[in-house]
Amino acid sequence: MRGSSRFIEACWGKPHNGIPVWFMRQAGRYQPAYRQLRERYSFLEMALSEKVIVDVTCRPVEELGVDAAILFSDIMIPMGPMGIDFDIQEHKGPVIAHPIRRVQDLKHLKPLRPEDDLPEIFRSIEQICRRIDPIPLIGFAGAPFTLASYLIEGGPSKNYIETKKMMWEQPELWHEVMITLADAVVSHLHAQIRHGVQAVQIFDSWIGALSVEDFEYAVLPTMKEIFSRLNRLHVPTIYFGTGSAALLPLMKQTGARVLSLDWRVSLAKVRQDLGNEMALQGNMDPVLLLSSWDVLARHVRRILDSMAGDPRYIFNLGHGVLPNTNPELLKRLVAMIHDYVPGTNDIGI
């Protein structure tokens, strides 16, 4: 067991020094070194290269001073060994060759055997943990609903027509899809934990497309089962979704130890509404990173002041770092958050 950190302590609500900070997509296209690699390799080649995974994952810790690393990968990576033929296309995202629409389509899927199917991922995790120690590594996976939306639609979608039609018109098939994906998610995250990650985050990026009622009957039972199984391993579990303000009371019921929020909600209001028993992570609008320092610092200060003294708070973005973000601005922001002192007007140098 590696040493603790302010990030891990905040997840558990234990006393720690300073506000922890890391950024979703902190390993990505805003980095010059990443863009150079991307000119030479496809995204999937990078995501399955042990050397690239290690280097890209570690750089934000070493260059920005963040309090946690997150594994460089993609939520679709476990789908390949399960029998899903897909590609990740620039500016589009995952594109599925043969979408799942019928019972027969689902029968072609194979159970995920993480260490056998994706050995480079787990060798990378072990190397990363040694390289960044004592900074923790966060593992992750896609949530079943978000994964299902890609598999059913055939790619990104605005309205999720086929996904919702299956959910409403073929509830038995929908349930089978969710259970199949839930087993893969848990298996993949269990393996990541075995090899050294100290926290796990589940990305439900498109969950905001659902009504409260649809989430409650078609998604919540599966997410409860996932977090119940993961929480037995005694590592922090984080649940993230966008456009999910109306769903937050139900997301709390999943059993996740940390809720990661987008910028469409007030952190202080969520804390008031949901209580103090779970940690909150977020929730700055990533577009602010493209503003002037003075504008950015004022908004960050407002967020920090609203959560001052909360032992269960982790600073993050409400979504991922945008590609045209200046890395030096991120580094300056990390220093500002680490130097934050409640009750002063200083917004950083």
- Residues taking part in catalysis: 25, 29, 38, 74, 150
SS (H, E, C) the chain: CCCCCHHHHHHHCCCCCCCCECCCCCCCCCCHHHHHHHHHCCHHHHHCCHHHHHHHHHHHHHHHCCCCEECCCCCCHHHCCCCCCEEEECCCEEEECCCCCCHHHHCCCCCCCHHHHCHHHHHHHHHHHHHHCCCCEEEEEECHHHHHHHHHHCCCCCCCHHHHHHHHHCHHHHHHHHHHHHHHHHHHHHHHHHCCCCEEEEEECCHHHCCHHHHHHHCHHHHHHHHHHHHCCCCCEEEEECCCHHHHHHHHHCCCCEEECCCCCCHHHHHHHHCCCCEEEEEECHHHHHCCHHHHHHHHHHHHHHCCCCCCEEEEECCCCCCCCCHHHHHHHHHHHHHCCCCCCCCCC
